Amino acid sequence: MSYIDGFVAAVPRANKDAYQKHAAGSVAMFKEFGATRQVETWGDDVPDGKVTDFKGAVKAKPDEVVVFSWLEYPDKATRDAANQKIMSDPKMKELGASMPFDGQRMIFGGFQPINDSGKATRPGYVDGIITAVPAANKRAYLEMADKHAAMLKEFGATRIVDAWGDDVPAGKVTDYKGAVKATADENIVYSWVEWPSKQARDEGWKKVMADQRMQPGQNPMPFDGKRMIYGGFAPILDQ
């Protein structure tokens, strides 16, 4: 089964080109060590939240944009081996020394997909979601995710992935658990939805939210939706 390394970072808006160049410079290394895909997406429709949001997750400053990115590996063993090689590789040290953003505020972790529905094509737009789910509700979450994935594909999405937190470390400045105010009995779910375009995404969500299957009481959420963070992102690298 595949494995995901998920990242969220705050990048100065003026450094967009530098970030894209920096990310492109890492592709060959990640592929060399077993990654099958690297995706970088730039914040486009990232709303402020009342309790949690993407900006707060990485302590973004007014001049910074949230970046939502991930690496796909064929399995966890390949990912673990890759991380060991990457951290000792001179190329990684060079990349680390030239990061056009504050790496101390980047949040990262390893995730095991529990729902991967659709085709992994190159999307024109991505919805990114981070959720805190009680560990005891994993099965209920998966059932809900399966239903939502079917509906999203019905209304234009090409792929939906929900990945269960597996290797999600605590950070000194920021981390996934703090991002969604997770309690001790909750796990982190890293999710994304791939769309052919932003227009398809906007039209798709309008149809989803108007659908009778999404009305109150139809799909009780097995988690605290007030702490879920979400946003729309434009891909700037997909290899």
Q: What is the pTM of this model?
A: 0.96
Whether residue 137 contacts residue 223, with contact meaning beta carbons closer than 8 Å, is answered with yes
User: Which of helix, strand or coil describes residue 188?
Assistant: strand
* CA 37/CA 70 separation, integer angstroms: 8
* CA 85/CA 157 separation, integer angstroms: 35
Whether residue 207 contacts residue 213, with contact meaning beta carbons closer than 8 Å, is answered with no
pLDDT of residue 121: 86
Residue 220 buriedness (CB in 10 A; 0-12 / 13-18 / 19+):
exposed
Task: Give me the tens of pLDDT residue by residue for the chain, a chain 239 residues long.
Answer: 799 999 999 999 999 999 999 999 999 999 999 999 999 999 999 999 999 999 999 999 999 999 999 999 999 999 999 999 988 888 887 777 789 999 999 999 999 999 999 988 899 999 999 999 999 999 999 999 999 999 999 999 999 999 999 999 999 999 999 999 999 999 999 999 999 999 999 999 999 999 888 876 777 899 999 999 999 999 999 99
- Kindly list the domain boundaries of the chain, sorted by start residue: 3-238
**Topology of 3-238 in CATH?**
Alpha-Beta Plaits (3.30.70)
Neighbouring C-beta atoms of residue 217, cutoff 10 Å? 5
